[in-house]
Amino acid sequence: MDHFIIRGGQPLEGRVQISGAKNAALPILAATLLTSEQSTLSNVPHLNDITTMVALLGALGADVSVDEAMQLTVSAAALNNQQAPYELVKTMRASILVMGPLLARFGHAQVSFPGGCAIGSRPVDLHLKGFEAMGASIEVRDGYIVASTDDGLHGCDFTFDTVTVGGTENLLMAAVLAQGRTVLRNAAREPEITDLVQFLRGMGACIEGDESSTLIIDGVSSLRSSHYCVMPDRIEAGTFLVAAAATGGCITVDNADPEHLGIVLDKLREAGVSIGVDGMSITADMRNRRPKAIDLVTAPYPGFPTDMQAQFTALNVIADGVGRITETIFENRLMQAHEMSRMGADITVDGHSAIIRGKETINGAPVMASDLRASASLVIAGLAAMGETRVERIYHIDRGYERIEEKLQSIGGDIVRKSR
């Protein structure tokens, strides 16, 4: 099993090209099932989760081709299967996103209960309630969620009990082919949802209200082919900016949209990082300074993203002062705290919060990743630590960061991937 060996204590300096957003590419790939015509996607990251979704589309009967530039062409004209198999779905929670497109286009979908990172319960009940409100019948049979409708989906007025990104995406995709108007209230507002809306519009969907908490969708009878460029990955960009701050370095991330990183940049500034913005490039400069400890509370967009709290935990570990990180979106998402304690970090977990008393130095140690973002935080801690850090179970990080060790090497990080 692969692992990283990191020799820390050196500042990161240079420029990094940010890849396309995994969390935008996955629902967009699912949305290609909505049409019998060809879809072409560019700026798709080369990641394990993308490979899994491509394999899932293929298992459903879609023809997917990939060129050297990771431009994907999907033709779902000959779909011959509406069952998403357990073998693929168990590894990635986003697999549930094929349910809305399959149900909308064919009136039937079977999807195994999804898997993914071990960061607590992320139930799909809101997805299913929405499908039922649109006229689908739902049952659980042999470990599969089975959804069907006799006369197609019908528009409805549906309010999410809580904000759910996946639920918003799934019902949005189902609604574009439903009969009549659908109104989705308390919808998630993440930039990745706006990216999905723009892709669907390019296919001929009628959607209003993107970037707001109310989406209005007027169903159409069919969708056409589309060419689309996936948005940059705001979480990857934020991760590299935090890494620069934690190591006392100065880097510029290119192909990064600062509008998607508002509160992340604000928190970096609060920590004492000098932030510069030039179009789609962002510079973080922390040379010759120690970061200040900060407090943060995760919240749905435009609040602080849950996918960045682990990285800021690593920053607080070597910061001046005491910081409190509070996770409100998922339970069990502070598991990086125990591993950082092995490196000498002073962290106390109190319910959904981690209280971190910063230290000037931490030491390298063997640590184990528990989920995607926790693994990124351990890499950051390793880069900031003195001595050698060994990060195990890095298959987690490969799900969400494209060639992270190569990108870090290009800006001075002493990190290598090794196999047993």
Residue 140's pLDDT band (cuts 50, 70, 90): confident
Strand pairing report for 415-418 and 3-7? antiparallel
pLDDT at position 204, please? 98
Q: What is the mean pLDDT of residues 335-343?
A: 93
CA–CA dist 270, 293 (Å, integer): 9
- φ, ψ at 415 (rounded to 5°): -140, 135
Mean pLDDT of the chain, nearest integer: 94
Cis omega before residue 302 (within 30°)?
yes
Query: Which member of 117, 156, 229, 250 is catalytic?
Result: 117
What pLDDT is stored for residue 284 in this prediction? 98
Q: What is residue 203's DSSP assignment?
A: T
Instruction: Give the list of residues 6+ apart from residue 19 with CB closer than 8 angstroms, or none.
Output: 43, 45, 46, 232, 233, 236, 255, 402
Report the DSSP beta bridge partners of residue 5: 390, 416
- Nearest CA-CA partner of 74 in 42, 41, 39, 113: 39
Give 166's contacts (C-beta < 8 A, 6+ positions apart). 93, 94, 96, 97, 122, 124, 127
- Residue 330 CA to residue 328 CA, distance in Å, equals 6
pLDDT at 115: 54
Q: Which pLDDT tens digit goes with each residue over 148-183?
A: 999 999 999 999 999 999 999 999 999 999 999 999
What digits encode the pLDDT tens for the residues 74-131? 999 989 899 888 888 888 888 899 999 999 999 999 998 775 444 344 468 899 999 9
CB-CB contact of 284 with 256 (8 Å)? no
Percent of the chain with pLDDT over 90: 86
The tens digit of pLDDT for each residue in 345-380 reads 999 999 999 999 999 999 999 999 988 889 999 999
CA within 13 Å, CB half, 410:
14
- Verify whether residue 156 is a known catalytic residue: no
On the question of pLDDT at 6 being above 90, the answer is yes
- Say if residue 218's pLDDT is above 60: yes
pLDDT of residue 119: 33
Residue 59 has pLDDT above 90, yes or no: yes
Which residues sit opposite 344 in a β-bridge?
none
Structure confidence by residue, pLDDT tens digits, 230-268: 999 999 999 999 999 999 999 999 999 999 999 999 999
Across the range 61-74, mean pLDDT stands at: 92
**Higher pLDDT among residues 417 and 92, named by residue:** 417
User: Which candidate, 17, 3, 6, 5, places its Cα nearest to that of 247?
Assistant: 6
- How would you write 309-329 as a 3-class SS string? HHHHHHHHHCCECEEEEECCC
User: Which tens digit of pLDDT belongs to each residue from 17-42?
Assistant: 999 999 999 999 999 999 999 999 99
